[in-house]
Amino acid sequence: MKASFLIATFLFLTASLFAQDYTLSGKITDGAGNAVPFATVYIRNTTKGTSANNDGNYTLNLKAGRYDVRYQAIGFKQESHTIDLKANQNINISLKAEDYQLKEVSISAGAEDPAYAVIRKAIKKRKTYLNEVNAYTCEIYIKGLQKLLAAPKKFLGVDVQKIARENGLDSNRRGIVYLSESQSKYSFIRPDKVHEEIISSKFSGSNRAFTFNRASDMQVNFYENLQIWEGLSNRPLISPIADNALSYYKYKYVGFTTENGETINKIQVTPRNAYDPCFSGYIYIMDDSWRIQSLGLYITKKSNINFVDTLKVNEQFFPVGDKVWMPSSLKFEFTGGLFGFKFGGYFISVYKNYEIDPKLDKKQFAEVLRITKGVNKKDSAYWEQERPIPLTDEEKIDYQKKAILAAKRESKPYLDSLDKVNNKFSVGKFLLGGYRHRNRYDHEYYNFNSLLSSVTYNTVEGLALGYGGSFTKQIDSINNRYINVYGKVRYGFSNKLFNATGGITMPVGSATLNLSGGSDVIDMNNREPISAFMNTAYTLLNRQNFEKLYQKQYASASISKRIYGGWQASASAEWANRKYLSNTTDYSFFHPKGHEFTSNNPFSPGVDAPLFPENQSFKVNVRTTYDFSNRYETYPTGKRYIPSKYPTIGLSFTKAVKNVFGSDADYNLISADISKSEIPMGFYGKTSFYVAAGNFFNTKNIYYTDYRHFSGNQVLFYQGGINKFLLLDFYQFSTGDKYLEGHLEHNFSGLITNMIPVIRKLKLQEIINVNYLSTPTLKNYTELGLGFQTNIGLRVMYGTSFNNKIAGANQAIRIGASF
């Protein structure tokens, strides 16, 4: 037994010796001795490689053997070194600036630049290289770093100096605010199936958080005509080799060089119009194959990009096999500033171990991203061995300093002390923002509404106080599930009516259960088209009481669940007593000429006759939706499903049952809807739509509050949204019969406004929408809206309606928010 153990040990040690990894490291500089940041290092005829860090230092872990090591960076001549690796080696490399020669081409005055001939050939081959790889897998390392370069001491009353100090920044409020690394396994099947599994994650400043780095977010392909970078640019960006690129770019031939027997052409690209969504910089095209060898491009705020002033993208490719070239490294670098804050940073990804056209199971691609528990628990020794880009001294210090801060932040004494400070009660906080009491360690939260937001005014209740609060507690840390108990009391000082409601929301298995009940004063239109705040303002300042209210005493239960993938379903049951309320006050601050309050009955404005008698209802509703997607992301806390690129369809059925708990209502309603937001239309923006239809049948007894209501609008300010009307009366055209409703909106994403010199700085998006409604009493009501929207969702719209049966204004300006 001992002999066999010794033999096994000897074999293990021998195998370990022969399998031992060695480290190739060094520094890459230019001819003047300056560091060449993020130069690429790779082993010829393999897909093993790395990138230098910001200081030019590199490391590459390899097994013993003989290697042809290539060093390259955009703008420098490639260097090649053959090494026989038997121990750790340090090789410093000095890269020479690339000498690009001009071809012997006779160019007469006014002749076309030779760059155009190269670009035309690259455009012709674009589709070939876009589709040449049907599937691949690889390993990707990503590092992200963001730094605060300047900041004011205070901003909007917030002590920025204190926050900076607590987050490890220096006394001038400068330093690293985000540093994270990740390693992923990435799989792809054309045209758009991806699967990413994060193997390891490191986040400076937190032992529990996961990286925001995503390989999918770092995937760019300049063989695509348009680069759609959501959030960064309202408009798709045009590739320098897009099919229509010649209409948007000017090209200049810089010269050619030869690497590994390949002729590489350096082409300067500049936008024909500085304000078009186009890049500037250099693109390197290989002769004969006319593929991209590398690129160094940038885009500025002139092109109306958001959040940053300048964004640079550098990408290098290397051969994988005999014919295919794939990205070896990709780097985004950015700078920006706003309100005295200045920031900068980069994200860089390094690719290795490609496998082209592997056999992949398409079923695994339902899971787009996978992050399992423990991937953020790898120790320093692991990262020292695995990270391909060495840390700079600044990054090492940031990890060390913030590890101490993280341990402190996650301790009970620190969380208790933090809660003690934040939980201090103040009258100002209570009046304006409400009060929140936190127990972070036990994950318990008490929330109380702000007092001012709880005070409203209407002609039914007069001054009304509707004050509420809630208690939330995490009951499942693994799946991040909570229980929420909430309640509200309401009192009308004019009608002397007291109401109270409450409820609880909790997980039940994989479903969510809600139980609620009480008594409340609510809008007759259950879509609540006008907010209580806006109604208060119009009532007190303009003597217009738009909101029509009634009292509802009720008890309800609902349950919702994801059945499978994009298929969701819910069911609810509610008993309610509905009581009509009359106006009890006619007070207003001002009395504009021609403005008089109307009754609480929208169909009898001059006489406050009850719209409906006091009645009871018991109704059951079931609803299901499907969005044609089963794609999801897996996190340690559970799954997050990803919306489909196809529309979502919904089907609902409501039945009011007579004589159950004294119910008077007796009807059936079946309805269906289909919707989709922000359908990309390439360079021409995005389209959204919503269509709904329904029919009441076997209607034996129905009340106004049971009707199908619509999101109308009669005021200057409104809450935007795809299924909202601009001019429709709040209450007049609700129906207890059949209906057809449709909304179509197109956002041109600055296609036109970006052409106007002064306007383009506002980054306005042009909006066109059409709204339609048809019921037995209102046939073919149509609205057309034209306007502009800002990046933060504020919009100004001009609306006009086409239906002569409607009295009153048929055109108006509307100011809304669409967040």
pLDDT score recorded for residue 100: 80
Taking residues 628-655, report their average pLDDT: 91
Q: What is the 3-state secondary structure (H, E, C) of 5-37?
A: HHHHHHHHHHHHHHCCEEEEEEEEECCCCCECC
Task: Look at residue 215 and tell me whether its pLDDT is greater than 50.
Answer: yes
Contact 654, 619 (CB under 8 A): yes
Task: Look at residue 412 and tell me whether its pLDDT is greater than 70.
Answer: yes
Give ∠ CA 614-615-620 in degrees, rounded to 5. 150
Contact 86, 94 (CB under 8 A): no
Taking residues 606-630, report their average pLDDT: 95
Q: How far apart are CA 813 and CA 747, in angstroms?
A: 18
Parallel/antiparallel/unpaired status of strands 638-641 and 632-635: antiparallel
Task: Look at residue 421 and tell me whether its pLDDT is greater than 80.
Answer: no
Q: What are phi and psi of 108, to 5 degrees?
A: -85, 165
- Among the listed residues 352, 332, 354, 336, the one whose alpha carbon sits nearest the alpha carbon of residue 344: 336
| pLDDT band of 632, cuts 50, 70, 90 | very high
112-163 pLDDT tens trace: 899 999 999 999 999 999 999 999 999 999 999 999 898 888 887 778 888 8
Q: Which tops the pLDDT comparison, 405 or 535?
A: 535
pLDDT score recorded for residue 603: 96
| pLDDT band of 818, cuts 50, 70, 90 | low
pLDDT score recorded for residue 515: 98
pLDDT score recorded for residue 12: 32
| pLDDT band of 195, cuts 50, 70, 90 | very high
Task: Look at residue 710 and tell me whether its pLDDT is greater than 70.
Answer: yes
pLDDT score recorded for residue 719: 84
Q: What are phi and psi of 212, to 5 degrees?
A: -90, -5
Structure tokens at 532: 């209580």
Taking residues 409-437, report their average pLDDT: 78
438-492 pLDDT tens trace: 887 788 999 999 999 999 999 999 999 999 999 999 988 777 789 999 999 999 9
Most confident listed range (28-42, 132-146, 220-234, 800-814): 132-146
pLDDT score recorded for residue 8: 32
Taking residues 784-792, report their average pLDDT: 91
Taking residues 786-814, report their average pLDDT: 84
Find all residues with CB under 8 Å of 36, minimum gap 6, and list them: 28, 29, 30, 52, 56, 73, 76, 95
Q: How far apart are CA 567 and CA 562, in angstroms?
A: 6
pLDDT score recorded for residue 51: 87
Instruction: Kindly give the interhelix angle for 393-409 and 412-422, rounded to the nearest 10 degrees.
Output: 80
DSSP-derived 3-state class of residue 301:
helix
Q: Report pTM.
A: 0.86
Mean of the per-residue pLDDT values of the chain: 89
Find all residues with CB under 8 Å of 61, minimum gap 6, and list them: 21, 22, 23, 24, 385
The CB density around residue 595, as the number of other CB atoms within 10 Å, is 12
| pLDDT band of 285, cuts 50, 70, 90 | very high
What DSSP designation does 97 have?
B
Contact 171, 150 (CB under 8 A): no
Task: Look at residue 635 and tell me whether its pLDDT is greater than 90.
Answer: no
Parallel/antiparallel/unpaired status of strands 193-203 and 367-371: parallel
Q: Which domains can be identified in the chain, with CATH numbers?
A: 2-94 (2.60.40.10), 133-409 (no CATH), 449-664 (no CATH), 671-819 (no CATH)
pLDDT score recorded for residue 804: 58
Q: How far apart are CA 127 and CA 272, in angstroms?
A: 24
The separation between CA 673 and the C-alpha centre of its own chain, rounded to angstroms, equals 25
Percent of the chain with pLDDT over 70: 95
Task: Look at residue 165 and tell me whether its pLDDT is greater than 90.
Answer: no
Q: Which tops the pLDDT comparison, 559 or 9?
A: 559
DSSP-derived 3-state class of residue 527:
coil
- Which range among 164-178, 185-199, 716-730 shows the weakest confidence by mean pLDDT? 164-178
pLDDT score recorded for residue 337: 86
Q: Which tops the pLDDT comparison, 314 or 761?
A: 314
Task: Look at residue 422 and tell me whether its pLDDT is greater than 70.
Answer: yes
Taking residues 403-422, report their average pLDDT: 74
Map tokens 């209210």 to a residue: 549
Q: How far apart are CA 85 and CA 82, in angstroms?
A: 9
pLDDT score recorded for residue 563: 93
pLDDT score recorded for residue 119: 97
Q: Which tops the pLDDT comparison, 43 or 580?
A: 580
Q: Which tops the pLDDT comparison, 734 or 375?
A: 734
Q: Which tops the pLDDT comparison, 653 or 43?
A: 653
Taking residues 251-265, report their average pLDDT: 90
Q: Which tops the pLDDT comparison, 99 or 418?
A: 99
pLDDT score recorded for residue 17: 38
pLDDT score recorded for residue 801: 92
What DSSP designation does 214 have?
-
Task: Look at residue 170 and tell me whether its pLDDT is greater than 90.
Answer: no
